[in-house]
A = this chain, B = another copy of it.
């Protein structure tokens, strides 16, 4: 099955330097959704008509197995865009799905149902459907083309653009959603018959549909499951609306598979995120990329995950960021923690508030609960990292690694100057700067003597009258 996506539009209402179809919805270009929906609808060969900033669009989708066609005049109109791709279907005796690149909400299910419909009509009515037009009922159809149907049937008499509509036609609330299935030979015939609009000079695809209807070809309509499928994304406001709608569908998909979401409107969820049952997602959480949340794991308020894996029963506490890292079973990260760049937080470990873990492996049961920086390090199991500890991995020229053995204790405000290797059960006294390796069970301390001068604070502090 073949499908053609019209992605040549200028998108001038986006007021952007980026082509419209590359603007992102939930972290993916808008066009990604259209292609994905076509594939889910059973379309295997996909052509894309580009024009405006064609190279950018082609580059963004270069590994997707698409065929690109170039429309010389991006203002040539929708039928001109289809004609630009005529090599794609000129010798094709089959059905061609045609979608707009800014219609990310026409679902795979709808496409599949439209294709089923034409097959069924062929089989049971013995008729070939020349054009099947996706329609939707909108409470406010302003701005959309209206579908004038034969009374009491699914047959389309014509599609009328709003500006050309009579008052009666304008009162029709069934609109053209801009998605079609065409019998390719009839489409080709129609495209060569229609004339440019005398007003705009554009060739309209709806004129091709109207040509077929007038000629007595079978033109039918197919009602969209949800009116929102008709939403074309022409402004960034509509982009935001589409994004919210697609996100709620994703949330609902997962909620029905055993994931608990709290205040779903506030949650961000990208299409390649996956879950196991009894995962729980709290308000304002942000799940991006290929994040995986396993059984019973909890993603706290405002936690932000990018390509993260959160294993069974682990908890990412509120306002924590986990990027390209793994939080193992039963571990706790946060609140206010950041784990990034290929790090691992081991089973049952606890990385607490104001702690950053970068390119590090934190062993099982490690406790680093407050204000610390752990970078380029490997920590064994049960290590205790005190508050204010810094793994000094950078010497002004390059980064160096640190290794810490099992059950080592690193006192608060200690500084570990990499490269460094601490043995098992090594003990670093608080405030010490460690610049050489420590064997197992070694105790290390670097501390100047404490001088106490009685009464001298009076020199440095204003003593309040009533307090002195």
Contact = CB atoms under 8 A, between A and B. Distances in A.
B353 A353 contact: no
A166 B327 CA distance: 55
B263 A237 contact: no
Interface of A: 13-18, 23, 235-237, 239-240, 243-244, 247, 251-252, 255-266, 268, 277-278, 283-284, 286, 301-302, 304, 318-319, 321, 335-336, 338, 353-354, 356, 370-373, 375, 384, 386-388, 390, 392, 394-397, 406-407, 409, 411-413, 415, 417, 424-427, 430-436, 438-439, 441-464, 467-468
A256 B236 contact: yes
B239 A260 contact: yes
A371 B261 CA distance: 33
Nearest to A288: B301
A5 to B, nearest CB: 22
24 contacts: A14-B258, A16-B258, A16-B277, A239-B260, A240-B261, A240-B262, A243-B262, A263-B265, A263-B268, A266-B283, A304-B318, A335-B338, A354-B354, A371-B372, A375-B387, A395-B460, A396-B462, A397-B462, A425-B461, A426-B457, A442-B455, A442-B457, A443-B459, A448-B448
B258 A240 contact: no
A452 B461 contact: no
A158 to B, nearest CB: 31
A394 B386 contact: yes
Given A236-B255, A335-B321, A384 B407 contact: no
Contacts of A301: 268, 284, 286, 302, 304
A263 B266 contact: yes
Q: Which 8 A-B pairs have the closest CB atoms?
A: A15-B258, A443-B456, A427-B457, A373-B387, A431-B433, A237-B255, A446-B450, A236-B255
Contact of A415 (B394, B431, B434): B431
A459 B442 CA distance: 10
A357 to B, nearest CB: 11
A280 to B, nearest CB: 9
